[in-house]
């Protein structure tokens, strides 16, 4: 983190004095001792963060809670399941929450952005997407098309700059611009 801050501040000379080391208190988990002390079925929050989203969902679904625990946990669990399901729609169920964002590839970042926008529940908004399918595996094109359709069905306008034929065919209107544009 320190190296990233220093690079951003454009002072590379100071990097020779910086040293990266794992925190002796949290062992690099970036959580306080108190947060790490709380467990759910023997899992700490750091342990849960290491699981894939798919496995996290399974573990949380298998929780056996008392009635009073369920009252507190249910709204939280529903929100977690909703977010995981949104990411799974774009084939991202294998991701782990503790993964650094700079280790994500373009398709993964694009899937996360799409999931966030599609499930934002905004209405009467114009969304402009520049090649949302780029970087994502072609197998997820139906999910992208379905997601964009949800935005339209929620009363939004979606403008798409796209080269993928399957996405183009799903459009209500096609405007082709450029040299030698089609009919």
Query: Which pTM value belongs to this model?
Result: 0.72
pLDDT bracket for residue 52 (50, 70, 90): very high
- For the CA atoms of 76, 77, 78, 82, what is the dihedral angle to 10 degrees? 110
pLDDT one-digit tens code per residue, 56-101: 999 999 998 899 999 999 999 999 999 999 899 888 999 999 888 8
pLDDT value, residue 21: 83
Q: Angle at CA 75, nearest 5°, toward 71 and 78?
A: 125
- Token look-up 């000379």 returns 13
Stronger pLDDT, 7 or 170, i.e. the higher one: 170
Q: Is pLDDT of 8 > 90?
A: no
Query: How far is 53 from 88, CA to CA, in rounded Å?
Result: 8
Q: Looking at mean pLDDT, say which of 2-11, 19-28, 78-87 comes out highest.
A: 78-87
pLDDT bracket for residue 1 (50, 70, 90): low
pLDDT value, residue 176: 85
Q: Is pLDDT of 6 > 60?
A: no
pLDDT value, residue 157: 94
Residue 65 phi, psi (nearest 5): -110, 150
Question: Is the distance from CB of 93 to CB of 84 less than 8 angstroms?
Answer: yes
pLDDT one-digit tens code per residue, 97-155: 988 888 888 888 888 888 888 888 889 999 998 888 887 888 888 888 988 898 999 99
Asked which of 1-15, 53-67, 159-173 is least confident by mean pLDDT, the reply is 1-15
pLDDT bracket for residue 9 (50, 70, 90): low
């Amino acid at each position: 983190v320190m190296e990233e801050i220093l690079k951003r501040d454009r002072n590379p000379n100071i990097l020779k004095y910086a040293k990266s080391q794992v925190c002796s208190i949290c062992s690099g988990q970036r959580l306080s001792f108190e947060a790490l002390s709380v467990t759910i079925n023997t899992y700490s929050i750091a342990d849960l963060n290491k699981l894939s989203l798919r496995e996290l969902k399974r573990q949380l679904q298998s929780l056996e809670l008392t009635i009073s625990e369920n009252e507190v946990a249910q709204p939280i669990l529903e929100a977690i399941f909703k977010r995981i399901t949104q990411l799974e729609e774009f084939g991202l169920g294998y991701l782990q929450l503790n993964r650094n964002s700079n280790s994500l590839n373009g398709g993964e970042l694009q899937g996360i952005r799409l999931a966030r926008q599609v499930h934002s529940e905004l209405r009467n908004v114009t969304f402009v997407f520049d090649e949302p399918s780029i970087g994502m595996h072609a197998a997820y094109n139906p999910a992208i098309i379905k997601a964009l359709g949800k935005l339209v069905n929620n009363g939004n306008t979606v403008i798409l700059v796209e080269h993928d034929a399957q996405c183009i065919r799903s459009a209500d209107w096609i405007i082709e611009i450029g040299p030698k544009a089609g009919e």
